[in-house]
Protein backbone atom coordinates (compact mmCIF):
# COMPACT_ATOMS: atom_id res chain seq x y z
CA UNK A 1 0.00 0.00 0.00
CA UNK A 2 1.40 3.40 -0.96
CA UNK A 3 0.35 6.94 -0.22
CA UNK A 4 -2.59 8.31 -2.18
CA UNK A 5 -2.06 11.38 -4.41
CA UNK A 6 -3.92 13.63 -1.97
CA UNK A 7 -1.73 12.37 0.89
CA UNK A 8 1.43 13.08 -1.07
CA UNK A 9 0.08 16.56 -1.78
CA UNK A 10 -0.54 17.15 1.94
CA UNK A 11 3.09 16.29 2.73
CA UNK A 12 4.54 18.72 0.20
CA UNK A 13 4.50 21.96 2.26
CA UNK A 14 7.22 20.79 4.68
CA UNK A 15 11.00 20.91 4.64
CA UNK A 16 12.88 17.63 4.24
CA UNK A 17 16.65 17.05 4.46
CA UNK A 18 17.31 15.24 1.20
CA UNK A 19 21.11 15.10 0.87
CA UNK A 20 24.31 15.86 2.79
CA UNK A 21 25.87 18.83 1.05
CA UNK A 22 29.22 17.03 0.84
CA UNK A 23 27.62 14.45 -1.47
CA UNK A 24 26.65 17.10 -4.02
CA UNK A 25 29.65 17.67 -6.27
CA UNK A 26 30.03 19.72 -9.42
CA UNK A 27 27.67 17.50 -11.43
CA UNK A 28 23.87 17.50 -11.05
CA UNK A 29 22.36 14.70 -9.00
CA UNK A 30 18.99 12.96 -9.16
CA UNK A 31 16.89 11.84 -6.18
CA UNK A 32 13.29 11.00 -5.31
CA UNK A 33 11.12 12.87 -2.81
CA UNK A 34 7.44 12.14 -2.20
CA UNK A 35 7.28 10.14 -5.41
CA UNK A 36 8.74 12.95 -7.52
CA UNK A 37 12.08 12.72 -9.28
CA UNK A 38 14.20 15.81 -8.67
CA UNK A 39 17.51 17.17 -9.89
CA UNK A 40 19.86 19.07 -7.55
CA UNK A 41 22.82 21.17 -8.60
CA UNK A 42 25.28 23.63 -7.10
CA UNK A 43 25.05 27.27 -8.01
CA UNK A 44 28.21 28.56 -6.34
CA UNK A 45 30.98 27.82 -3.88
CA UNK A 46 33.24 24.88 -3.21
CA UNK A 47 31.31 23.32 -0.33
CA UNK A 48 33.46 24.74 2.46
CA UNK A 49 32.00 28.21 2.98
CA UNK A 50 28.84 30.23 3.33
CA UNK A 51 28.89 31.15 -0.36
CA UNK A 52 27.47 27.75 -1.33
CA UNK A 53 23.95 27.67 -2.73
CA UNK A 54 21.95 24.96 -4.48
CA UNK A 55 18.99 24.65 -6.80
CA UNK A 56 16.39 21.93 -7.16
CA UNK A 57 13.84 21.23 -9.90
CA UNK A 58 11.83 18.48 -11.51
CA UNK A 59 14.25 16.11 -13.25
CA UNK A 60 12.63 16.48 -16.67
CA UNK A 61 13.36 18.88 -19.49
CA UNK A 62 10.32 20.79 -20.73
CA UNK A 63 11.51 20.29 -24.31
CA UNK A 64 11.61 16.52 -24.89
CA UNK A 65 11.46 15.16 -21.31
CA UNK A 66 15.11 14.11 -21.00
CA UNK A 67 16.46 13.68 -17.48
CA UNK A 68 18.31 16.86 -16.61
CA UNK A 69 20.43 15.06 -14.00
CA UNK A 70 22.37 13.59 -16.91
CA UNK A 71 23.49 17.07 -17.96
CA UNK A 72 26.03 19.51 -16.53
CA UNK A 73 26.29 22.92 -14.91
CA UNK A 74 27.71 26.03 -16.57
CA UNK A 75 30.15 28.40 -14.88
CA UNK A 76 27.21 30.71 -14.32
CA UNK A 77 25.21 28.05 -12.46
CA UNK A 78 22.76 27.11 -15.23
CA UNK A 79 21.69 23.50 -15.68
CA UNK A 80 22.25 22.18 -19.22
CA UNK A 81 20.02 19.47 -20.67
CA UNK A 82 22.12 16.59 -22.04
CA UNK A 83 19.75 16.00 -24.97
CA UNK A 84 19.64 19.33 -26.81
CA UNK A 85 21.62 21.72 -24.62
CA UNK A 86 18.80 23.90 -23.33
CA UNK A 87 20.00 25.89 -20.30
CA UNK A 88 17.89 26.56 -17.20
CA UNK A 89 18.23 29.05 -14.36
CA UNK A 90 17.72 28.12 -10.71
CA UNK A 91 14.16 29.49 -10.85
CA UNK A 92 13.32 27.16 -13.75
CA UNK A 93 13.42 29.70 -16.57
CA UNK A 94 15.09 28.66 -19.80
CA UNK A 95 17.92 31.02 -20.65
CA UNK A 96 19.24 29.55 -23.89
CA UNK A 97 17.96 27.39 -26.74
CA UNK A 98 20.95 26.50 -28.98
CA UNK A 99 18.72 25.42 -31.89
CA UNK A 100 17.15 28.88 -32.12
CA UNK A 101 19.84 31.34 -30.96
CA UNK A 102 18.47 34.46 -32.64
CA UNK A 103 14.97 34.33 -31.23
CA UNK A 104 14.08 35.46 -27.66
CA UNK A 105 13.45 32.52 -25.37
CA UNK A 106 9.73 32.07 -24.75
CA UNK A 107 8.62 32.41 -21.08
CA UNK A 108 6.73 29.15 -21.64
CA UNK A 109 10.06 27.32 -21.78
CA UNK A 110 10.66 26.50 -18.13
CA UNK A 111 11.03 23.60 -15.74
CA UNK A 112 9.31 23.29 -12.39
CA UNK A 113 11.70 24.58 -9.73
CA UNK A 114 11.35 24.09 -5.99
CA UNK A 115 12.69 25.74 -2.85
CA UNK A 116 16.02 24.64 -1.38
CA UNK A 117 17.99 25.73 1.70
CA UNK A 118 21.21 24.63 3.36
CA UNK A 119 21.11 23.89 7.08
CA UNK A 120 23.18 21.70 9.40
CA UNK A 121 25.25 20.47 6.47
CA UNK A 122 22.25 19.17 4.51
CA UNK A 123 20.23 20.29 1.51
CA UNK A 124 16.62 20.82 2.58
CA UNK A 125 13.82 20.86 0.01
CA UNK A 126 10.20 21.97 0.16
CA UNK A 127 7.93 20.99 -2.73
CA UNK A 128 5.33 23.71 -2.09
CA UNK A 129 5.52 27.46 -2.77
CA UNK A 130 5.17 28.12 0.97
CA UNK A 131 6.15 25.86 3.85
CA UNK A 132 3.72 25.30 6.71
CA UNK A 133 6.59 25.60 9.16
CA UNK A 134 10.25 26.55 9.06
CA UNK A 135 13.20 24.19 9.15
CA UNK A 136 13.53 23.32 12.85
CA UNK A 137 15.93 25.42 14.89
CA UNK A 138 18.36 23.59 17.13
CA UNK A 139 20.13 26.00 19.54
CA UNK A 140 23.20 23.79 19.69
CA UNK A 141 24.00 24.69 16.08
CA UNK A 142 25.18 28.15 17.15
CA UNK A 143 26.95 27.01 20.34
CA UNK A 144 30.76 26.98 19.87
CA UNK A 145 31.04 24.36 22.61
CA UNK A 146 28.91 21.86 20.69
CA UNK A 147 30.01 19.70 17.76
CA UNK A 148 27.89 18.34 14.93
CA UNK A 149 28.32 14.69 13.94
CA UNK A 150 26.84 13.48 10.67
CA UNK A 151 25.68 10.01 11.53
CA UNK A 152 23.71 8.19 8.86
CA UNK A 153 22.17 8.85 5.47
CA UNK A 154 20.76 5.65 4.01
CA UNK A 155 17.71 4.01 2.47
CA UNK A 156 15.43 1.65 4.39
CA UNK A 157 12.69 -0.46 2.82
CA UNK A 158 9.91 0.59 5.18
CA UNK A 159 7.31 3.26 5.88
CA UNK A 160 8.72 6.61 7.09
CA UNK A 161 5.85 6.84 9.55
CA UNK A 162 6.97 3.58 11.16
CA UNK A 163 10.46 5.00 11.60
CA UNK A 164 9.20 8.05 13.48
CA UNK A 165 6.76 5.99 15.54
CA UNK A 166 9.70 3.83 16.60
CA UNK A 167 11.43 6.94 17.93
CA UNK A 168 8.31 7.85 19.92
CA UNK A 169 8.06 4.33 21.35
CA UNK A 170 9.44 4.45 24.90
CA UNK A 171 9.33 0.73 25.53
CA UNK A 172 10.82 -1.07 22.53
CA UNK A 173 14.39 -0.64 23.79
CA UNK A 174 13.65 -3.01 26.67
CA UNK A 175 13.42 -5.74 24.04
CA UNK A 176 14.91 -4.60 20.72
CA UNK A 177 18.13 -3.20 22.17
CA UNK A 178 18.95 -5.94 24.66
CA UNK A 179 22.69 -6.42 24.94
CA UNK A 180 23.49 -2.94 23.66
CA UNK A 181 21.30 -0.53 25.67
CA UNK A 182 20.18 -2.54 28.67
CA UNK A 183 17.35 -0.89 30.63
CA UNK A 184 17.43 -1.84 34.31
CA UNK A 185 14.33 -0.12 35.71
CA UNK A 186 10.95 -1.81 35.44
CA UNK A 187 8.94 -0.74 32.43
CA UNK A 188 7.59 2.64 33.64
CA UNK A 189 4.04 3.79 33.83
CA UNK A 190 2.75 5.57 30.71
CA UNK A 191 3.68 9.25 30.56
CA UNK A 192 2.61 10.59 33.94
CA UNK A 193 3.83 14.10 33.04
CA UNK A 194 1.80 14.23 29.86
CA UNK A 195 2.46 15.35 26.31
CA UNK A 196 3.17 19.03 25.68
CA UNK A 197 2.14 20.61 22.36
CA UNK A 198 4.78 22.56 20.45
CA UNK A 199 4.69 24.85 17.42
CA UNK A 200 5.64 21.99 15.10
CA UNK A 201 4.39 18.88 16.93
CA UNK A 202 4.63 17.79 20.56
CA UNK A 203 7.15 16.65 23.16
CA UNK A 204 7.39 14.66 26.34
CA UNK A 205 10.04 13.67 28.87
CA UNK A 206 10.86 10.29 30.34
CA UNK A 207 14.02 9.19 32.19
CA UNK A 208 15.63 5.83 31.62
CA UNK A 209 17.99 3.89 33.88
CA UNK A 210 20.48 1.67 32.06
CA UNK A 211 23.34 -0.64 32.95
CA UNK A 212 26.62 0.66 31.58
CA UNK A 213 28.73 -1.52 29.32
CA UNK A 214 31.86 -1.19 27.23
CA UNK A 215 30.06 0.00 24.10
CA UNK A 216 27.97 2.58 25.92
CA UNK A 217 30.78 3.89 28.13
CA UNK A 218 32.93 4.44 25.04
CA UNK A 219 30.36 6.95 23.78
CA UNK A 220 29.92 8.72 27.14
CA UNK A 221 33.39 8.86 28.70
CA UNK A 222 31.66 7.59 31.85
CA UNK A 223 32.41 4.25 33.48
CA UNK A 224 29.77 4.30 36.22
CA UNK A 225 28.06 0.97 36.76
CA UNK A 226 24.53 2.40 36.58
CA UNK A 227 23.33 5.46 34.68
CA UNK A 228 20.09 7.43 34.52
CA UNK A 229 19.61 9.42 31.35
CA UNK A 230 17.08 12.24 31.15
CA UNK A 231 15.24 12.00 27.83
CA UNK A 232 13.13 14.64 26.08
CA UNK A 233 11.50 13.42 22.90
CA UNK A 234 10.05 15.86 20.36
CA UNK A 235 7.97 15.00 17.32
CA UNK A 236 8.67 17.43 14.47
CA UNK A 237 5.64 17.02 12.23
CA UNK A 238 5.24 15.28 9.95
CA UNK A 239 8.36 13.11 9.71
CA UNK A 240 11.03 14.43 12.05
CA UNK A 241 12.18 13.62 15.56
CA UNK A 242 14.51 15.17 18.14
CA UNK A 243 15.79 13.26 21.16
CA UNK A 244 17.59 15.31 23.83
CA UNK A 245 19.68 13.24 26.24
CA UNK A 246 21.17 14.47 29.50
CA UNK A 247 23.71 12.14 31.15
CA UNK A 248 24.91 12.27 34.79
CA UNK A 249 28.45 13.35 33.82
CA UNK A 250 27.17 16.50 32.11
CA UNK A 251 27.17 15.19 28.56
CA UNK A 252 24.33 16.67 26.52
CA UNK A 253 23.42 15.08 23.22
CA UNK A 254 20.65 15.82 20.73
CA UNK A 255 19.81 13.15 18.17
CA UNK A 256 17.96 14.45 15.10
CA UNK A 257 16.16 11.95 12.88
CA UNK A 258 14.17 12.50 9.70
CA UNK A 259 12.51 9.74 7.68
CA UNK A 260 12.06 11.15 4.18
CA UNK A 261 9.61 9.39 1.83
CA UNK A 262 11.20 8.65 -1.52
CA UNK A 263 8.37 6.67 -3.10
CA UNK A 264 5.83 4.09 -1.98
CA UNK A 265 8.46 1.61 -0.79
CA UNK A 266 11.57 3.30 0.55
CA UNK A 267 12.48 5.91 3.13
CA UNK A 268 15.67 7.93 3.34
CA UNK A 269 16.98 7.93 6.90
CA UNK A 270 18.79 11.12 7.94
CA UNK A 271 20.34 11.05 11.41
CA UNK A 272 22.79 13.52 12.94
CA UNK A 273 23.97 14.51 16.41
CA UNK A 274 24.87 17.54 18.49
CA UNK A 275 27.18 16.89 21.48
CA UNK A 276 28.86 19.16 24.03
CA UNK A 277 32.08 17.13 24.13
CA UNK A 278 34.99 16.91 21.71
CA UNK A 279 36.90 14.40 19.63
CA UNK A 280 39.57 13.93 22.28
CA UNK A 281 37.01 12.97 24.93
CA UNK A 282 34.93 10.70 22.69
CA UNK A 283 35.99 9.99 19.10
CA UNK A 284 33.29 10.39 16.48
CA UNK A 285 33.95 6.81 15.40
CA UNK A 286 32.93 5.55 18.85
CA UNK A 287 29.64 7.45 18.67
CA UNK A 288 28.71 6.22 15.20
CA UNK A 289 29.80 2.64 15.98
CA UNK A 290 27.44 2.48 18.99
CA UNK A 291 24.64 4.18 17.08
CA UNK A 292 25.17 1.84 14.12
CA UNK A 293 24.36 -1.08 16.38
CA UNK A 294 21.21 0.58 17.73
CA UNK A 295 19.72 1.59 14.39
CA UNK A 296 20.53 -1.79 12.83
CA UNK A 297 18.46 -3.40 15.58
CA UNK A 298 15.60 -0.98 14.83
CA UNK A 299 15.96 -1.52 11.10
CA UNK A 300 15.56 -5.30 11.36
CA UNK A 301 12.23 -4.82 13.12
CA UNK A 302 10.90 -2.04 10.90
CA UNK A 303 11.82 -3.61 7.57
CA UNK A 304 10.18 -6.84 8.73
CA UNK A 305 6.77 -5.25 9.32
CA UNK A 306 4.36 -6.13 6.53
CA UNK A 307 1.36 -4.06 5.59
CA UNK A 308 0.51 -0.41 5.26
CA UNK A 309 3.07 2.13 4.18
CA UNK A 310 0.79 4.97 5.25
CA UNK A 311 0.42 7.02 8.37
CA UNK A 312 -2.33 5.31 10.36
CA UNK A 313 -2.72 1.53 10.01
CA UNK A 314 -6.22 0.50 11.04
CA UNK A 315 -5.60 -3.16 11.93
CA UNK A 316 -3.51 -2.53 15.02
CA UNK A 317 -4.42 -2.38 18.70
CA UNK A 318 -2.81 0.48 20.60
CA UNK A 319 -2.67 0.65 24.39
CA UNK A 320 -2.14 3.46 26.90
CA UNK A 321 1.64 3.13 26.63
CA UNK A 322 1.31 4.09 22.95
CA UNK A 323 -0.06 7.58 23.67
CA UNK A 324 2.56 9.46 21.62
CA UNK A 325 2.03 7.15 18.67
CA UNK A 326 -1.76 7.44 18.91
CA UNK A 327 -1.51 11.23 19.03
CA UNK A 328 0.87 11.33 16.07
CA UNK A 329 -1.47 9.13 14.03
CA UNK A 330 -4.42 11.34 14.92
CA UNK A 331 -2.57 14.49 13.86
CA UNK A 332 -1.41 12.84 10.64
CA UNK A 333 -4.93 11.72 9.78
CA UNK A 334 -6.02 15.33 10.10
CA UNK A 335 -3.11 16.51 7.98
CA UNK A 336 -3.46 13.91 5.24
CA UNK A 337 -7.24 13.85 4.90
CA UNK A 338 -8.49 17.06 6.51
CA UNK A 339 -11.30 17.27 9.06
CA UNK A 340 -14.33 15.07 8.56
CA UNK A 341 -17.55 16.68 7.35
CA UNK A 342 -20.77 16.10 9.25
CA UNK A 343 -23.35 15.74 6.43
CA UNK A 344 -26.25 16.56 8.73
CA UNK A 345 -24.82 19.78 10.07
CA UNK A 346 -22.73 20.70 7.05
CA UNK A 347 -19.79 21.53 9.30
CA UNK A 348 -16.35 20.11 9.85
CA UNK A 349 -15.61 17.97 12.87
CA UNK A 350 -12.27 16.86 14.22
CA UNK A 351 -11.67 13.62 16.19
CA UNK A 352 -11.47 13.82 19.95
CA UNK A 353 -7.96 14.66 21.13
CA UNK A 354 -5.82 11.89 22.53
CA UNK A 355 -5.25 12.01 26.30
CA UNK A 356 -2.09 13.86 27.31
CA UNK A 357 -1.65 12.21 30.69
The H or E element that residue 299 is part of is helix 284-303
Question: Does pLDDT of 119 surpass 90?
Answer: yes
Cβ contacts of residue 144 below 8 Å, gap of 6+?
none
User: Would you say residue 357 has pLDDT above 80?
Assistant: no
233 has pLDDT over 80: yes
**How confident is residue 211, by pLDDT bands cut at 50, 70 and 90?**
confident
In CATH, which superfamily holds the domain spanning 10-126?
Answer: Rieske [2Fe-2S] iron-sulphur domain (2.102.10.10)
Identify the residue with better confidence: 228 or 190: 228
The reported pLDDT for the residue numbered 222 is: 87
* Overall average pLDDT of the 152-172 stretch: 95
Q: By three-state DSSP, how is residue 278 classified?
A: coil
DSSP class per residue in 113-143: EEEEEEETTEEEEESSSS-SSPPPP-GGGG-
pTM exceeds 0.75, yes or no: yes
- Looking at the domain covering 139-303, what would its CATH class be? alpha beta
Q: Is the dihedral of CA 217, 223, 225, 231 positive or negative?
A: negative
> What is the per-residue pLDDT for 46?
47
Q: Where are the domains of the chain?
A: 10-126, 139-303
Across the chain, what does the average pLDDT equal?
Answer: 89
Residues 279-307: tens digit of each pLDDT: 999 999 999 999 999 999 999 999 999 87
Give tens-digit pLDDT for 68-110: 999 999 999 999 999 999 999 999 999 999 999 989 999 999 9
Give dist(CA 239, CA 357) in Å, integer: 23
For residues 150 and 271, is the Cβ–Cβ distance under 8 A?
A: no
pLDDT recorded at residue 6: 87
Burial 121-154 (b: 16+ CB within 10 A, else e): ebbbbbbeeebeeebbebebeeeeebbbbbbebe
* DSSP, res 355: P
Amino acid sequence: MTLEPHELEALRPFWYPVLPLEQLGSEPLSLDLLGQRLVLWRLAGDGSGSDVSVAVAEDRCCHRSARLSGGWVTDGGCLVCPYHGWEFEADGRCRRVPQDPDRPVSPRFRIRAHRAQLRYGYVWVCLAPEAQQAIPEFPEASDPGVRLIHGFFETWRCSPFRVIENGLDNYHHYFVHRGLLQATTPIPEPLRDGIEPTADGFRFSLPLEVANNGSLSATLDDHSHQLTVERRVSWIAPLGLSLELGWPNGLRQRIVLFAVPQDGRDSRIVRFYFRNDDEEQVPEASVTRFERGLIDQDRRILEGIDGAYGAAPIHETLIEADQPIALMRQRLRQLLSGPAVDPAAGTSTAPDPAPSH
